[in-house]
Amino acid sequence: MRTKEMLNENLFFQEQMAHIRTTIELSGQRDTQAISVTSSLSSEGKSSIAIGIARSFAEAGKKVLLIDSDFRRPSVHKKLGLSNAVGFCDVLKEDYTLTECMKDIDVQGLDILTSGLVEDSPSILFDATTLKKFILEVKKEYDLVIIDTPPVLLVPEVKTILNHSDATLLVVKYDEVRKEEVERTYRVLNQVSATCLGIVFNRVKVKVKDRYRYYY
């Protein structure tokens, strides 16, 4: 199946991604090129949000790179129907170049770097110096880099990713994640000096007549 067919074509979802894109553009944060999309726990929908935001920016004329850095539970390749034989982990190990690992999809301006097949310990792969160098290099080639990260409260190496990102979006699955867990996540963000652009509440149930009050 072609990737374009596997993207979320729901108009309401795309509208919300455009709202988030506009919020980021108007945030006033300078030099915000590398944005991490994270969550407190797993299965909160951060990968779908990361894909949606990356697509929205690309369709607005930006050159965008979407990276799946969740080496323990990667999902971007599954959601988009892409091969994951080689990817981000292989670039970090310098076994392959970024160009060799890039996935081409049917959205102009959007490139995908899946996680790759991780055989080593993820915490070892995320060496701070190597990651910083990589992010600086891709920021020269792209207007925006969207990084789908592991959950903050479950995976230690996420701190390195957040620290080397310019800003972070926190995805919260509405009515399922406890307030205490979100507060713990915010403390971690503060510990690594991460700039939080805001919280995206996901899976909010609304009535049709209230649809324009959906989201944050």
Query: How far is CA 53 from each of CA 30, 100, 178, 197, rounded to the nearest angstrom?
Result: 19, 24, 25, 13
| pTM, two decimal places | 0.90
Mean pLDDT of the chain: 89
Identify the pLDDT of residue 215. Answer: 45
**Cα torsion 153, 7, 88, 141: sign:** negative
Domain ranges across the chain: 1-213
How many beta carbons lie within 10 A of that of residue 124, not counting itself? Answer: 10
Q: Tell me what the mean pLDDT of segment 9-33 comes to.
A: 86
Q: What is the mean pLDDT of residues 193-208?
A: 82
Q: Taking the chain, what is the end-to-end CA distance rounded to the nearest angstrom? A: 33
Q: What are the beta bridge partners of residue 144? A: 64
**pLDDT for the residue numbered 29:** 72
pLDDT of residue 214: 40
pLDDT at res. 9:
72
- Residue 148 CA, chain-centre distance (Å), reads 3
How would residue 207 be classed by pLDDT, with cut points 50, 70 and 90?
A: low
Residue 1 in this model has a pLDDT that exceeds 70: no
What percent of the chain is predicted at pLDDT more than 70? 91
Q: Bigger pLDDT: 106 or 88?
A: 88
Q: What is the per-residue pLDDT across 100-153, written as a single tens digit (0 to 9) for each?
A: 999 988 899 999 999 999 987 888 888 899 999 999 999 999 999 999 999 999
Nearest Cα to Cα of residue 146 among 201, 42, 65: 65
In the prediction, which pLDDT does 171 show? Answer: 95
What share of the chain has pLDDT > 90, as a percent? 70
Helix (H) or strand (E) holding 169: strand 167-173
Q: Specify the CATH number for 1-213; select among 3.90.1150.10, 3.40.50.2020, 3.40.50.300, 3.50.30.60.
A: 3.40.50.300
Q: Stretch 171-177: mean pLDDT, rounded?
A: 88
Half-sphere exposure of 97 (CA within 13 A, CB side): 2
**33-73 confidence digits (pLDDT tens):** 999 999 999 988 999 999 999 999 999 999 999 999 999 99
| DSSP conformation class of 38 | E
Q: Which pLDDT does position 208 carry in this prediction?
A: 54
Return the pLDDT at 133: 95
